[in-house]
Amino acid sequence: MTRTALITGAGRNIGRAVALALAKQGMNVVINGSSDQAACERVANEARALGVEALVAMGDVGERATCRRLAEAAISRFGRVDVLVNNAALRPTNKFLDLTEQDYRRVMAVDLDAALWLSQACLPGMLEGGWGRIVNFAGMNAIHGYAGRAPVSVAKHGVWGLTKSLAKEFGPKGVTVNAISPGPIASDDEDVAPDAHRQEMVVRVPVGRLGQPAEVAAMVRLLASDEGAFINGQMLAVNGGAET
């Protein structure tokens, strides 16, 4: 049986790398993005070139109705979602005293609520099949308190709590739920010489460089495999040894 993975924020960077890594493992993939459909279509074509089916499902996961629609589109096409990767996120930097309710709610909707609603929408099919994988992204914002990123840290702490809760509830039923905490990761359009902010980040990484999206995707691939069945309720750091 060919399994299906739904990856949010899959048009570029880590999301793209995850989609292609799972496609290489023979999974059909559902590529989600919020606005850049052309980028998502390119990823879908790359996946198809690997011999699997790919569906592009655009939509803003910060809206509960969209989360439900994405899951329904995937299930309608492939029967169910076996692997859910909640990768989409916003990471704005704002002074805390200037934070508005709208800004706060928007980050919470994309960074936390989407993982909850998509999990709820995809879990019934996983439970019916007795097998499933949910991979959330917490990140260093869930570990360190960064100045100017209070809403992101709040949301990512929530993702970690959601991960642990779902792991306990659904692990006995064949569904594992884990979180990944990436360190500083290069983007697809990273210049040969990273900017000052990137250079500052590299200083905190003992291996002395930015990570690559494919290195994060390798961890997702393990968690999404049969071999990853005994990893559950964990936050796994892919950060080159950066302090956690």
Strand order of the β-sheet with 175-182 is 54-56, 28-31, 4-7, 83-86, 132-137, 175-182, 235-238
- pTM score of the predicted model: 0.95
User: Domains in the chain and their CATH numbers?
Assistant: 4-238 (3.40.50.720)
The continuous run of DSSP H or E covering 73 comes out as: helix 64-78
Query: Judging by beta carbons within 10 Å of its beta carbon (0-12, 13-18, 19+), is residue 64 exposed, middle or buried?
Result: middle
Q: From first to last of its 244 residues, what are the pLDDT tens digits of the chain?
A: 899 999 999 999 999 999 999 999 999 999 999 999 999 999 999 999 999 999 999 999 999 999 999 999 999 999 999 999 999 999 888 899 999 999 999 999 999 999 999 999 999 999 999 999 999 999 876 777 778 899 999 999 999 999 999 999 999 999 999 999 998 899 886 544 555 656 677 888 999 999 999 999 999 999 999 999 999 999 999 999 987 5
Q: How many CA atoms lie within 13 A of 72 on its CB side?
A: 7
Rounded CA gap, 85 and 80, in Å? 14
Cα-atom radius of gyration of the chain, to the nearest Å? 17
